[in-house]
Structure 1
Amino acid sequence: MEIKKKLLDIVRDKIRFKHYSIKTEKSYVGWIKHYIFYHNKKHPIEMAKAEIEQFLTYLAVERKVSPTTQNQEFSALLFLYKEVLGIDMSSWNIQALRAQERKHIPQVLTKDEVKKVIENLTGTYQLIVYLMYGCGLRMSEALNIRIKDIDFGFDKVYIGDSKSLKDRIVPPPQAIKQRLRAQVEYVEGIHVKDVSDGYGSVYMPYALERKYPNAKFETKWQFLFPMRNVAKDPRSEVIRRHHVHEKTLGRNIKQAAIKAQIHKRVTSHIFRHSYATHLLQSGIDLRSIQELLGHKSVETTMVYTHVVAEMNKGRVVSPLDLLA
């Protein structure tokens, strides 16, 4: 059992050395642990192609996980063998039974439904959702915005794209510019208090923290949507103010949808889908939407043409209605 503990610690260290997010760290460590326990705590160095195929097949057949979940587990094992154990899996040709991929057309909200949900949110949570819908942002992108990323002079919001690793610029909605200015002033105020209380640092990516060791205390690097209270960083154990927690925002969105009596599955990502669909309906071309969303390929963006096509089916008059 000591070997397993030591191995997982090495995995954590390697993930942090690679500057992966804490979310990825928890996911990879959890999946690797699951893999080890599935094979009766056998050390991965003693396992290879057959054990990996058996585990991935078990996930698909018995656990009935989604293709995305199965791919996450496979990525965790790739990381384990290549980065931690120094074993190249490329020649193994893994042939596990894959989870069945479902053709998924994203659900979207109407403009009226978006308005109703937002009206049932308050304060910072309302402003975050305004920004997610108004700019087509992922939740993580909105929450990771820093003061420096808002350029009021040129009407630009700089987005660090964590998925494609390609940053992009989007125009902020004019309707919330004054609220964004007020939010910046609010953050400036609480940052002054944090500094006076002996805190005031903010999480910085590792490379930047080494290069600019004092930047974490600067106002411009503070998160635009900070938590109400300071908390201990799970990695460094430094007490600092992080951004609003994803689960907290998600819970507020869910409650707002219930209050608005919207009987669709309303998550943070539905606002990004709705943004793209509403732009397409208003005549904005697909390439422009691709750039605004930060998609690598236009094929990814094309899913919204299917959404609009499905909506247009509603205009078809049923033969039953013609009987009258």
Structure 2
Amino acid sequence: MRQDNQDILVCLLHLGARITEAHNLKCSDINFELNTILVRRLKRGNDCLLQMTNSLRAIMERRHLTRINNKVFPTKHDDGRTNTGWMKDVVKRSGVSLDGGKIPSHTFRHSCATRLLRSGMDITMVQKFLGHKEISSTMVYLHTLPSEVASRAAAVFDGDLMQGDCMKHQVGKPKTLAR
């Protein structure tokens, strides 16, 4: 059971999937030859064909070999309900403090989007990855990133920029001045 939980958490994080999308994955959605997985986005119907990461592929190969039916994550519920009560236990075992509130499964989707943006992925690419129809849905993740303006302002106050250099300065590559 713990392995199932770990597998689904990797899916949530590596696919940016909602919990129901992960639970609805079918073995027929996986193409091992092309190393792709079809995620059927439920909220707006924007299905995404995504490349599998090495970790995700290993999970899918293992689950494919031990499958019971066409579902990657078979559930005990026949009515389509998704049980997420196990997540509380996982969080508790991990030692993460819940003083700030609960950690819902959607947190992994947010973590995925934030990680992609922080790595430098263009916001329109993240939009397509998450299956958002509107860019405004994806823009909510930008608040977690330091703005270019803030980075440039810090560079000015750190003495890395002189007057007139702001337009030439690139974020992340502070200009070294001869002194």
> TM-score by structure 1 length?
0.42
Is 2:55 the partner of 1:175?
A: yes
Say which one has the larger Rg.
1
C-alpha separation between the residues in 2 aligned to 1:305 and 1:165?
23
Partner of residue 306 from structure 1, selected from 133, 143, 148: 143
Is 2:90 the partner of 1:256?
A: yes
C-alpha separation between the residues in 2 aligned to 1:139 and 1:167?
15
Is 2:118 the partner of 1:285?
A: no
Matching residue of 2:160: none
SS at match of 1:166: coil
C-alpha separation between the residues in 1 aligned to 2:48 and 2:59?
22
CA contact (8 A) 2:46 2:132 kept: no
C-alpha separation between the residues in 2 aligned to 1:161 and 1:308?
26
- State the shift of 1:307 in Å: 2.1
User: RMSD of the alignment, in Å?
Assistant: 2.2
- State the shift of 1:263 in Å: 2.1
Matching residue of 1:270: 107
Is 2:36 the partner of 1:156?
A: yes
Aligned length: 146
- List runs of 5+ in structure 1 lacking aligned partners: 1-120, 192-221, 235-241, 317-324
- The one of the two structures with greater contact order (alpha-carbon pairs below 8 A, sep at least 6) is 2
Is 2:3 the partner of 1:123?
A: yes
Is 2:74 the partner of 1:226?
A: yes
C-alpha separation between the residues in 2 aligned to 1:149 and 1:266?
28
C-alpha separation between the residues in 2 aligned to 1:280 and 1:165?
23
SS at match of 2:95: coil
SS at match of 1:302: helix
CA contact (8 A) 1:131 1:173 kept: no
C-alpha separation between the residues in 1 aligned to 2:120 and 2:13?
17
Is 2:82 the partner of 1:246?
A: yes
> TM-score by structure 2 length?
0.74
Deviations 1:162-200 (A, max 9, x none): 11122111122212322211101111xx34xxxxxxxxx
Greater helix fraction, Structure 1 or Structure 2: 1
C-alpha separation between the residues in 1 aligned to 2:61 and 2:2?
17
CA contact (8 A) 2:44 2:133 kept: yes
* Greater shift in the superposed pair: 277-286 or 174-183: 174-183
- List runs of 5+ in structure 2 lacking aligned partners: 155-179
SS at match of 1:290: helix
- State the shift of 1:299 in Å: 1.0
C-alpha separation between the residues in 1 aligned to 2:144 and 2:6?
26
C-alpha separation between the residues in 2 aligned to 1:252 and 1:172?
25
C-alpha separation between the residues in 2 aligned to 1:263 and 1:296?
35
SS at match of 2:103: coil
Deviations 1:107-142 (A, max 9, x none): xxxxxxxxxxxxxx8211110110110111111111
C-alpha separation between the residues in 2 aligned to 1:168 and 1:177?
16
CA contact (8 A) 1:131 1:172 kept: no
- State the shift of 1:284 in Å: 0.7
SS at match of 1:182: helix
C-alpha separation between the residues in 1 aligned to 2:45 and 2:10?
24
Aligned residue identity for 1:223: K
C-alpha separation between the residues in 1 aligned to 2:30 and 2:126?
21
SS at match of 1:141: helix
